[in-house]
Amino acid sequence: MTDATIRPAFSKWPDYNRRLRDVVATLTVEQLEIRPAPDRWPLWASIGHAACQRVFWLCDFAGEPGADTTRFTDATYNCPGDDDLEHVLSPADLVEALDSTFRIVEGCLDRWTLASLDDVLRRPEWDESWVHTRGAVLQRVFSHDVYHCAELNEALGMAGLPQVDLWD
């Protein structure tokens, strides 16, 4: 049982990513400039940040391959929103970012096992607050995706635009 991959536990995550990317693909550059509140990032930055954080947690922190196949080759120091609000990402950029970073997620779902979720991960060059189990990292990435999808829906709903329906 502990050699089984974790994919069945996250069987809907690929659907959630597809539904998110499909809505993002329909948005205009102007719509991606919408901010849920004056002090919050524009939608393009929140979506780009969500994609970039997949690379940060799974590649930069957990050591998974694939960062070089994304636009976020320096996710530790250069993510939309957190570090960069100047380089605006277009709808096509964001679709590519969601697709390329989700391929990393897919690899983890296919390689990681129930037993491996207890592995303790740390980066020796980072302080001790950066010690997490593989399972905690995966939970963080999944919940982070859902959090930003809800944030996107909040802004899209206020603007009268179609929302990401995760439950369809």
* Entry pTM: 0.94
pLDDT of the residue at 2: 61
Say which DSSP state 120 is in: E
Cα separation, 36 vs 17, whole angstroms? 21
pLDDT over threshold 70, residue 13: yes
pLDDT of the residue at 101: 98
pLDDT tens-place string over residues 58-115: 999 999 999 999 999 999 999 998 888 999 999 999 999 999 999 999 999 999 999 9
User: Helices 134-158 and 43-55: crossing angle, nearest 10°?
Assistant: 170
Map out the domains of the chain as residue ranges.
7-158
Task: Tell me the CATH number for domain 7-158.
Answer: 1.20.120.450
